[in-house]
C-alpha cells in the first residue's frame, strides 16, 4: 500500500518534468498503479519499485526541444500529445478552407465581413483568456511566430494556388477578385487557427509553447 508521503515523492519527481496539469495527473496515476503492482508482484519496497518505474518511463519522460523554433524543453510524451493537437488544429483549418473559398467566390462582398466576424470571436477569446488569466499578453505576441502559424501561412498561400490551378483552362476569374480571394482566404485561415489555439489554451489543453 502506497502512503501519502510516497505519493508526494512521486508527484515531486513528476513536477520536475513540468508536465501540463491534465497530463501530470494522468501520468501520476499510472506511476502509482505501476509501483503498487511491482511491490506486490515482486515483493519489493517502494524505493525499488519507484526506481524500476522511473526506468520504464525514462524514454517517455526524456526532455527534448518542443519544436525547432522553441527554446523550451518538454517531455517526449508531452511533445507527442502537443503535436497531435497541433495536427488536429491544422486539419480543421484545412477542412475549413473550401468554405472560405466558397464564400469568397459566391459572395465576394461578404468575404471581408466574414473575416471581421472571425476576428471578433478571436478578440473575445483573447480578452476572456486575459481576464481568466489563462494566457499572458507576452505569450499571445508569440502566436504569430508559432510553428503552426508559420506552416499555415505557407499552406494558406499554396492551397488556394493549387485549387485555382486545377480549374478548367476556359474558367476565368478576374485578377483583382482572384487576388482578393486569396488574401481574404489566408487571413480567415490564420484567424480560424488562432481561435482554435486560444480555445485549446482556455481549456487547459496547451498547444502554444513559447
Q: What ranges do the domains of the chain cover?
A: 4-61, 73-202
Q: Cell numbers of 205, please?
A: 489543453
| Average pLDDT over the chain, rounded to an integer | 77
**pTM of structure:** 0.64
Q: What are the helix (H) ranges across 16-70? A: 21-41, 46-56
Show the 3-state SS of 80-111. HHHHHHHHHHHHHHHHHHHHHHHHHHHCCCHH
Per-residue pLDDT tens over the stretch 34-91: 999 999 999 999 999 999 999 999 999 998 887 766 677 889 998 888 888 888 888 8
Q: What does the alpha-carbon distance between residue 54 and residue 28 come to, in Å, rounded to a whole number?
A: 12
pLDDT at 10: 95
Distance of CA 120 to the CA centre of its chain: 21
Amino acid at each position: 500500500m502506497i502512503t501519502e508521503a510516497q505519493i508526494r515523492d512521486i508527484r515531486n519527481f513528476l513536477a520536475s518534468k513540468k508536465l501540463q496539469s491534465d497530463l501530470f495527473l494522468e501520468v501520476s496515476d499510472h506511476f502509482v498503479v505501476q509501483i503498487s503492482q511491482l511491490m506486490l508482484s515482486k515483493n519489493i519496497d517502494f524505493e525499488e519499485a519507484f526506481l524500476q518505474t522511473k526506468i520504464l518511463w525514462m524514454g517517455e519522460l526524456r526532455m527534448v526541444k518542443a519544436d525547432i523554433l522553441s527554446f523550451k524543453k518538454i517531455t517526449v510524451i508531452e511533445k507527442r500529445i502537443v503535436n497531435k493537437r497541433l495536427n488536429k488544429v491544422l486539419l480543421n483549418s484545412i477542412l475549413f478552407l473550401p468554405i472560405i473559398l466558397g464564400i469568397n467566390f459566391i459572395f465576394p462582398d461578404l468575404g471581408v465581413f466574414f473575416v471581421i466576424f472571425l476576428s471578433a470571436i478571436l478578440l473575445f477569446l483573447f480578452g476572456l483568456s486575459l481576464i481568466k488569466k489563462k494566457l499572458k499578453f507576452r505569450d499571445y505576441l508569440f502566436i504569430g511566430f508559432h510553428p503552426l502559424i508559420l506552416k499555415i501561412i505557407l499552406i494558406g498561400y499554396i492551397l488556394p494556388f493549387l485549387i485555382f490551378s486545377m480549374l478548367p483552362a476556359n474558367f476565368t476569374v478576374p485578377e483583382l477578385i482572384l487576388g482578393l480571394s486569396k488574401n481574404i482566404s489566408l487571413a480567415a485561415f490564420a484567424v480560424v487557427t488562432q481561435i482554435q489555439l486560444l480555445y485549446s489554451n482556455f481549456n487547459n489543453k496547451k498547444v502554444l509553447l513559447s
